[in-house]
């Protein structure tokens, strides 16, 4: 937080200065009104009255100017802080990588991005006016003292005492409100839930039941709202009545003093005005204190996110990666990935296939060697640049299809077209209303499972890694398309190392070599035809896939 | 597919709805208004009594008069507090009632939207309306409207009081109002759009951060760090620009309005001095009027601050009411038939952008038959499934069941007979029982459990809290396979005689897909099944296979017949078997 303050000392200082002037300015009007009454109205002195009234108008304009300058300065302070915080959070999130997904959930990032940043920024805005509030309070104290020390003491102590008394009441209101807000959030979630499930309801029915259930809960919330109203209305009335009573006491005291001739009528009117105006800085302290507390909580969350260490940053580099394409070897299963070939891995347990891919791509602790040297000791950045593991559900960011595919600035349209062709995804683009320029939501929810899968595949191909590891790249497409992809993938990756984790005969049939993995061990290696011939377990695995697919039996 | 947004209600409808809300609760509204007025009037007594005190002091009255008047002020404060409390409370209750009515109405209307409308509009729009807009309307009705009403009442009474002191003084007090009015109009015309744009920019930034975090592993794998940073930086710049724009608006609006606040006070004092010398008003009267004007700043400020919010609330209300303007799903015209044969004759279909999908489909499905539909992506398989399920009507030709066009059936009746199962599944927030029972409201717990058993949902039967287990949204989250099993259990309960499967397991990962398909097999026995096949073995085991290509059925027959015919299906089958 201090970092943010230090980032813009001039603005904060200016905010403090203008804030002070503005708060002091607030107390000018009662003074001017008092003088207008005392010097102009009572003695019936029109010239004096005219001057004081002119002063009131001028002060009004000056106050308005100060007010907006204060607001502008503080808005700039706040927005500058927001932008700076957002930028550092953005950088942290962008380079957090796989470690981020493991250690934080997206909801936390949403809280940080959505509210924590603005909470912290809001704290900054109290720096300027905070100073102003202190000075304004002091100025009012001096002026009041000059009128009457007794009244000054009464007002200067009474206003904070009153504010401190009302403060807990308002906190209590917030407490009552938060229960209501929570329930309201749940109800909103239900409405959104119903909307999201509309198609299911259309398929199966049961709409009336949902409407009734919702109405019941809505009724509960309404009753909860009544309860909130019962409490909050007292609090609201109290927060208005307590200052009212205090004001009455001040007026009474001042009037007695005026009657006794200790102060003038104008001074009495001024005292009345000061009480109202002192409330502003005092409130400010209360609010400010509360904001600082909340700001600290938010700042801590932001810092937790910023201090997250990405994978590989703190690991020692012990070996250099091989200079030219080399063989990957996984000692755990005994799998060898031959250079420049299309290797298919048929694993009996899909979880083993995913774990194997994570080891080969160094997303997990790994004993894998690359060109004979341990993969775990190589610089992570270079490993990532040369070996790509594309998960079954790798993330698709929101944007146009072109933006999604354009993962490197130097990609040409021809390269993109070639990758789309290899992934048999041309018809996906054709079916979109604006082709490549159609915007797609995050996770490409608007596309079907098969369409998403092909876009992912095209994107992975465009990365042109030395080693490409694909997990079930065709599980969601129909047989026609799968056959096409199998053939084209092979052509597209000719001469490059490609590993496909799959059990579909269409893909396995096109691979140079197939490795059959069972119980975390490679049990057989050969072509699809050879294995089907010689390995009963393999035949069962590949045809089991088919057997279970038999929906209609 | 084109997107046809949901309608937005026009001004007249919104106004009508507001009047309707007030009218529906006429008594409460009257009482609340009366209480507020009474409260404000007692509130006005303080400056007036202060004026009286001053007059008394000037006249040389003693301490007892001062005491008496001060005590009256205290009494007024207490009375005002009580009136204020009750006005607030009853107003709050009215607001809660009105909001509850609005949101229940919204959900009821949403539930009655025809599926085709929902699909065209996209659930995104509806989701925004159900969360953001309903919330905004709620805030407006519950919080903003009372503030605006009270502030207006206070203003009216304050100015009224000055008029009572002296009509000319009242007229003088109105100076400053023209500039406030003009500035407000200027501001209001621009503010809504600017704030909406600002809000959208903020939402986009949050979205950029969240999605980057969600896809963190992909960012690392594809080395998108730089691209994501640039993307986010652009969003930050857009937020900054949006904030600058709204700040620029405020920079004009605030100073003009704030400077105008001093005018009535000044004018009243000046004119007061003149009237005082003529003996038209008392000194106390002028001071009270000046204080009234000083007091008027606060409600005026509040009114201006909230009026923009109120305007946004109205915009949201228009969107909420818009949902009600879609004609609800039509009731059925035909008596439900006994027969189960599904017949398609010359069905053609094109989406509203004129893009033709099906060009004349003829197909007959016998009761209890298993028909597989295969074909390349984009051949129109899903569209055919939707026609068969009666979700869309063919542009020409007819789809009928037992001789009756499916779209003429009552939707509820149709769903009891034909169910369409897609990749989409949804677990509703609620208990496991809630999630099953809506498919068949009259079932017993034993039947629910047996349905779960049928689809192999062992996890559900092993739950500690059984059917009472809360699902979704922070409670127990179901995996894709579990969710799909839940969907299948609903089907068992709903018990339709015809099932249309549109790649029901395609979006699941292969392991999950296998488990789901095993469960599915249990559901299919004894029903007519039309399966859009995704793996060829499904086709192999079906009674008949239809090959759909380019919106036409190009081959139709049993697996063996098609292999013998040596067409495109036979080619594919051979490549599958390598």
Looking at chain B, which residue has its C-alpha nearest residue A213?
B434
Kindly state the average pLDDT of the residues B528-549: 83
Distance (Å, whole) CA B387 – CA B334: 18
- Give the mean model confidence (pLDDT) for residues A318-342: 91
Q: Sorting pLDDT into bands at 50, 70 and 90, what band is B429?
A: confident
- Give the pLDDT confidence score for residue A369 in this predicted structure: 92
Q: Which residue has the higher pLDDT, A185 or A484?
A: A484
Lowest-pLDDT choice from A331-340, A370-379, B230-239, B369-378: B369-378
User: Residue B577: pLDDT above 70?
Assistant: no
**Mean pLDDT of the A89-105 span:** 79
What average pLDDT score do residues B129-157 get?
82
Cβ–Cβ below 8 Å for A552 and B542: yes
Q: For chain A, give the number of residues.
A: 553
Inter-chain CB proximity B80 and A241 less than 8 Å = yes
- Cα–Cα dist A464/A120, whole Å: 43
CB atoms within 10 A of CB A357: 22
Among the listed residues A385, A352, A367, the one whose alpha carbon sits nearest the alpha carbon of residue A501: A352
Q: What percent of chain A has pLDDT over 70?
A: 93
Answer yes or no: do B578 and A532 touch at CB < 8 A.
yes
pLDDT at A169 over 60: yes
Which residue in chain A has the smallest CA separation from B513? A549
- CB A370: neighbour CB atoms within 10 A? 26
B353–A225 C-beta distance less than 8 A: no
The model's pTM is: 0.74
Distance from CA of B3 to the nearest CA of A (A): 10
* Interface touch B92/A233, C-beta < 8 Å: yes
Query: In terms of C-beta density within 10 A (0-12 exposed, 13-18 middle, 19 or more buried), how is residue A47 classed?
Result: exposed
Cα separation, A451 vs A433, whole angstroms: 14
Tell whether A56 lies on the interface with B, counting CB pairs under 8 A: yes
Q: Do A94 and B219 touch (CB under 8 A)?
A: yes
- Crossing angle of helices A9-26/A265-306, nearest 10°? 160
- Cβ pairs A/B, distance under 8 A: 533
In this model, does residue A7 exceed pLDDT 70? no
- pLDDT averaged over every residue in chain A: 83
- B565-569: average pLDDT: 87
Q: What dotted CATH number matches B369-382+406-576?
A: 3.40.50.300
Measure CB to CB from residue A44 to each of B97, B277, B490 and give the nearest one: B277
DSSP class of residue A186?
H
Angle in degrees, CA B412, B416, B420, rounded to 5: 100
In terms of Cβ atoms closer than 10 Å to its own Cβ (0-12, 13-18, 19+), residue B311 is middle
pLDDT tens per residue across span B480-491: 778 888 888 888
Q: Which residue of A has its CA nearest to B417?
A: A204
Q: How confident is the model at residue A310 (pLDDT cuts 50, 70, 90)?
A: confident
In the predicted model, is pLDDT for residue A522 greater than 90? yes
Q: Which of A16-25, A52-61, B23-32, B159-168 has the lowest mean pLDDT?
A: A16-25
Record: contact B377-A477, CB cut-off 8 A? yes
Residues contacting A13, CB < 8 A, separation 6+: A128
Residue B10 to chain A, least CA–CA distance (Å): 23
Domain boundaries, chain B: 11-325, 369-382+406-576
Tell me the nearest-neighbour CA distance from A366 into chain B, angstroms. 17
CATH code of B11-325, in short, is 1.20.1560.10
Written as six digits, the tokens of B61 are 């009255």
More confident residue, A400 or A156: A400
More confident residue, B217 or B422: B217
Q: Which residues on B lie below 8 Å from A459 (Cβ)? A: 222
- Cβ of B294 within 8 Å of Cβ of A273? The answer is yes
Point out which residues pair with B349 in neighbouring strands.
B358
- From chain A residues 409-428, the ones with a CB under 8 A of any chain B CB are 427-428
Residue (of B572, B120, B95, B541) closest to B379 by Cα position: B572
Chain A hits for B290, Cβ within 8 Å: 33, 37
- Write out chain A residues lying below 8 Å of B243, CB-based: 75, 79
Task: Tell me the chain B residues in contact with residue A256 when contact means C-beta distances shorter than 8 Å.
Answer: 63, 66-67
B423 contacts in A (CB within 8 Å)? 448-449
Please give the full DSSP string across A296-319, using - where no structure is assigned: HHHHHHHHHHHTPPPTTTTSPP-S
Measuring CA to CA, how many Å separate B284 from each of A266, B73, B231, B358? 11, 16, 65, 87
User: Pairing relation of β-strands B498-502 and B528-532?
Assistant: parallel
| Per-residue pLDDT, A553 | 32
Interface of A with B in 269-308 (CB under 8 A): 269, 272-273
Q: Which residues contact B502 (CB under 8 A, 6 or more apart)?
A: B381, B382, B385, B420, B421, B422, B423, B532
CA distance A469 to A390: 6
**What's the rounded Cα separation, in Å, for the pair B399 and A376?**
62
**Which pLDDT score is estimated for B256?**
92
With beta carbons under 8 A apart, name residues in chain A contacting B377. 427-428, 450-451, 477-478, 480-481
Q: Is B73 on the interface with A (CB under 8 A)?
A: yes
Spatial distance between the Cα atoms of A517 and A363, rounded to a whole number of angstroms: 20
3-state helix, strand, coil in chain A (%, to 5): 70, 10, 20
Compute the average pLDDT of residues B410-429: 80
Residues 156-175 in A contacting B (C-alpha not used; CB under 8 Å): none
Q: Region of A504 please: left (phi>0), alpha (psi -120 to 50) or beta.
A: beta
Q: CB-CB: which of B63, B85, B501 is closest to A259?
A: B63
Tens of pLDDT along A103-147?
766 567 777 776 788 888 877 777 666 777 777 778 878 888 888
Task: Render pLDDT for A331-381 as a digit per residue (tens, 0 to 9).
Answer: 999 999 999 999 999 988 878 898 999 999 988 888 899 998 999 889 888
Query: Which residues of chain A lie closer than 8 angstroms to B250, CB-CB?
Result: 68, 71
Pick from A50, A195, A427: which is nearest to B270 by CB? A50
CA A185, distance to chain mean position in Å, is 18
Tell me how far apart the alpha carbons of residues B463 and B486 are, in angstroms, rounded to a whole number.
Answer: 14
Which pLDDT band, with edges at 50, 70 and 90, does B144 fall under?
confident
Interface test with A, best of B132, B224, B228, B273 (most A CBs within 10 A): B273
Is pLDDT above 90 for A329?
yes
Percentage of residues in chain B with pLDDT exceeding 90? 9
B548 close to B554: Cβ distance less than 8 angstroms: yes
| A41 in contact with chain B, both atoms CB, cutoff 8 A | yes
Most B CBs within 10 Å, among A110, A182, A194, A205, to test the B interface? A205
The top-scoring range by mean pLDDT among A167-181, A471-485, B246-260 is B246-260
**Burial environment of residue A29 by CB neighbours within 10 A (0 to 12, 13 to 18, 19 or more):** buried
Using a CB–CB cutoff of 8 Å, tell me whether A46 touches chain B.
Answer: yes
Tell me the pLDDT tens digit for each residue of B71-125. Answer: 998 999 899 889 989 988 998 898 889 889 988 998 888 888 887 777 666 666 7
On chain A, the residues whose CB falls within 8 A of the CB of B127 are 192, 195-196
Q: Which of A204, A423, A446, A509 to mutate to test the interface with B (most CBs of B within 10 A)?
A: A204
Chain A positions in Cβ-Cβ contact with residue B207 (cut-off 8 Å): 398, 442
Interface of A with B in 212-271 (CB under 8 A): 213-215, 218-219, 221-222, 225-226, 228-230, 232-234, 236-238, 240-241, 244-245, 247-249, 251-252, 255-256, 258-260, 265, 268-269
Cβ separation B426–A547 shorter than 8 A:
no
Do residue A109 and residue B209 have CB atoms under 8 angstroms apart? Answer: yes
**B 510-569 residues inside an 8 A Cβ radius of A:** 510-511, 513-514, 517-518, 520-521, 524, 529, 531, 533-538, 540-542
Instruction: Provide the pLDDT confidence category of residue A547 given band limits of 50, 70 and 90.
Output: very low
Residues of A in contact with B226 (CB under 8 A): 94
Answer whether B81 sits within 8 Å of A240, measured CB to CB. Answer: yes
Return the biggest CA–CA distance within chain A. Answer: 119
Among B residues 162-191, those touching chain A with beta carbons less than 8 Å apart: none
* Strand partners for A399: A440
């Amino acid at each position: 937080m201090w970092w943010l303050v230090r980032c813009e000392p001039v603005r904060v200082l200016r905010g403090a200065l203008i804030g002070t002037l503005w708060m002091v300015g607030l107390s000018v009007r009662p003074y001017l009104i008092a003088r207008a009454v005392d010097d102009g109205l009572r003695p019936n002195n029109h010239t004096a009255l005219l001057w004081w009234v002119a002063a009131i108008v001028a002060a009004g304009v000056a106050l308005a100017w100060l007010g907006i300058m204060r607001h502008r300065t503080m808005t700039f302070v706040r927005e500058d802080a927001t932008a700076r915080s957002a930028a550092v959070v953005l950088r942290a999130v962008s380079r957090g990588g796989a470690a981020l997904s493991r250690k934080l959930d997206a909801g936390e990032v949403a809280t940080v991005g959505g509210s924590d940043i603005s909470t912290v920024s809001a704290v900054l805005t109290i720096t300027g006016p905070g100073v102003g509030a202190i000075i304004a309070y002091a100025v009012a104290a001096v002026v009041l003292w000059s009128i009457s020390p007794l009244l000054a003491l009464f007002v200067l102590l009474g206003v904070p005492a009153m504010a401190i008394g009302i403060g807990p009441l308002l906190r209590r209101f917030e407490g009552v409100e938060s229960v209501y807000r929570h329930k309201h959030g749940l109800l909103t979630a239900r409405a959104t839930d119903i909307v999201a499930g509309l198609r299911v309801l259309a398929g199966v029915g049961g709409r009336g039941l949902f409407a009734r259930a919702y109405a019941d809960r809505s009724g509960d919330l309404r009753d909860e709202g009544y309860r909130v109203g019962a409490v909050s209305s007292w609090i609201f009335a109290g927060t208005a009545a307590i200052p009212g009573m205090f004001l009455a006491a001040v007026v009474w005291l001042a009037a007695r003093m005026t009657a006794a001739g200790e102060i003038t009528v104008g001074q009495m009117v001024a005292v009345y005005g000061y009480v109202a105006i002192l409330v502003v800085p005092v409130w400010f302290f209360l609010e400010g204190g509360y904001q600082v507390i909340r700001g600290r909580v938010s700042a801590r969350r932001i810092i937790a996110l910023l201090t997250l260490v990405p994978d590989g940053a703190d690991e020692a580099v012990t070996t250099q990666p091989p200079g030219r394409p080399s063989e990957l070897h996984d000692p755990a299963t005994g799998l060898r990935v031959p250079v420049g070939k299309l290797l298919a891995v048929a694993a009996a347990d899909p979880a083993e296939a995913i774990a194997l891919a994570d080891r080969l791509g160094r997303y997990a602790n790994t004993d894998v060697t690359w060109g004979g040297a341990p993969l775990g000791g190589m610089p992570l950045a270079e490993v990532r640049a040369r070996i790509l593991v594309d998960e079954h559900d790798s993330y698709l960011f929101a944007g146009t299809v072109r933006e999604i595919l354009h993962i490197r600035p130097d990609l040409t349209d021809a390269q993109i077209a070639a990758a789309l062709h290899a992934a048999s995804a041309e018809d996906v683009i054709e079916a979109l209303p604006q082709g490549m320029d159609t915007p797609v939501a995050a996770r490409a929810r608007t596309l079907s499972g098969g369409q998403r899968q092909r876009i992912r595949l095209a994107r992975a191909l465009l990365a042109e890694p030395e080693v490409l590891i694909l997990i079930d790249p065709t599980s969601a497409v129909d047989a026609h398309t799968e056959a096409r992809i199998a053939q084209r993938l092979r052509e597209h990756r000719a001469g490059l190392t490609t590993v496909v984790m799959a059990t579909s005969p269409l893909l396995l049939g096109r691979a140079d070599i197939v490795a059959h993995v069972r119980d975390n061990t490679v049990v057989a290696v050969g072509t699809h035809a050879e294995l089907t011939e010689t390995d009963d377990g393999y035949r069962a695995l590949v045809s089991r896939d088919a057997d279970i697919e038999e929906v209609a039996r | 597919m084109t997107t046809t947004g949901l309608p937005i209600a026009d001004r007249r409808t919104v106004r009508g709805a507001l009047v309707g809300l007030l009218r529906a609760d006429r008594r409460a509204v009257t009482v609340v208004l009366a209480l507020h007025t009474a409260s404000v009037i007692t509130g006005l007594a303080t400056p007036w009594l202060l004026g009286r005190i001053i007059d008394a002091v000037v006249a040389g009255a003693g301490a007892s008069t001062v005491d008496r008047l001060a005590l009256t002020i205290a009494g007024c404060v207490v009375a005002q507090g009580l009136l204020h409390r009750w006005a607030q409370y009853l107003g709050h209750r009215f607001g809660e009632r009105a909001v509850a009515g609005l949101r229940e109405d919204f959900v009821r209307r949403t539930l009655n939207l025809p599926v085709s409308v929902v699909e065209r509009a996209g659930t995104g729009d509806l989701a925004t309306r159900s969360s953001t807009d309903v919330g905004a309307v709620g805030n407006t009705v519950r919080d903003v409207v009372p503030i605006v009403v009270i502030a207006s009442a206070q203003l009216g009474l304050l100015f009224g009081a000055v008029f009572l002191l002296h009509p000319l003084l009242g007229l003088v007090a109105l100076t400053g109002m023209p500039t406030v009015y003009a500035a407000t109009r200027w501001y209001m015309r621009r503010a809504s759009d600017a704030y909406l744009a600002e809000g959208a920019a903020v939402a986009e930034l949050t979205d950029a951060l969240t999605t980057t975090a969600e896809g963190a592993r992909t960012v690392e794998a594809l080395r998108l760090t730089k691209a994501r940073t640039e993307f986010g930086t652009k969003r930050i710049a857009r937020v900054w620009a949006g904030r600058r724009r709204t700040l620029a608006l405020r920079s004009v609006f605030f100073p003009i309005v704030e400077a105008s606040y001093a005018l009535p006070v000044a004018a009243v004092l000046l004119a007061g001095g003149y009237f005082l010398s003529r003996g038209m008003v008392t000194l106390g009267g002028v001071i009270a009027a000046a204080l009234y004007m000083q007091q008027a700043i606060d409600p005026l400020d509040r009114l201006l601050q909230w009026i923009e919010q109120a305007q946004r609330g109205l915009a949201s209300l228009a969107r909420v009411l818009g949902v009600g303007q879609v004609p609800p799903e039509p009731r059925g015209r035909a008596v439900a038939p006994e027969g189960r044969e599904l017949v398609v004759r010359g069905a053609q279909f094109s989406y509203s952008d004129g893009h033709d999908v099906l060009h004349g489909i003829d197909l007959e499905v016998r009761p209890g038959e298993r028909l597989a539909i295969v074909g390349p992506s984009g051949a129109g398989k899903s569209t055919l499934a939707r026609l068969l399920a009666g979700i869309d009507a063919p542009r020409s030709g007819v789809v009928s069941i037992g001789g009756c066009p499916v779209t003429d059936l009552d939707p509820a009746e149709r769903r009891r007979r034909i169910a369409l199962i897609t990749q989409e599944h949804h677990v509703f927030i609620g208990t496991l029982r809630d999630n099953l029972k809506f498919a068949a409201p009259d079932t017993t717990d034993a039947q629910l459990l047996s349905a779960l058993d049928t689809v192999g949902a062992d996890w559900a039967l092993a739950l500690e809290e059984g059917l009472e287990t809360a699902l979704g949204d922070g409670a127990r989250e179901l995996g894709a396979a579990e969710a799909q099993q839940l969907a299948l259990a609903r089907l068992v309960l709903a018990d339709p005689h015809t099932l249309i499967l549109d790649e029901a397991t395609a979006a699941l990962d292969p392991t999950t897909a296998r488990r789901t398909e095993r469960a599915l097999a249990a559901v299919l026995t004894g029903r007519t099944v039309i399966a859009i096949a995704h793996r060829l073995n499904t086709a192999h085991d079906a009674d008949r296979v239809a090959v759909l290509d380019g919106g036409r059925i190009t081959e139709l027959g049993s697996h063996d017949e098609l292999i013998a015919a040596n067409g495109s299906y036979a080619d594919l089958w051979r490549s599958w078997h390598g």
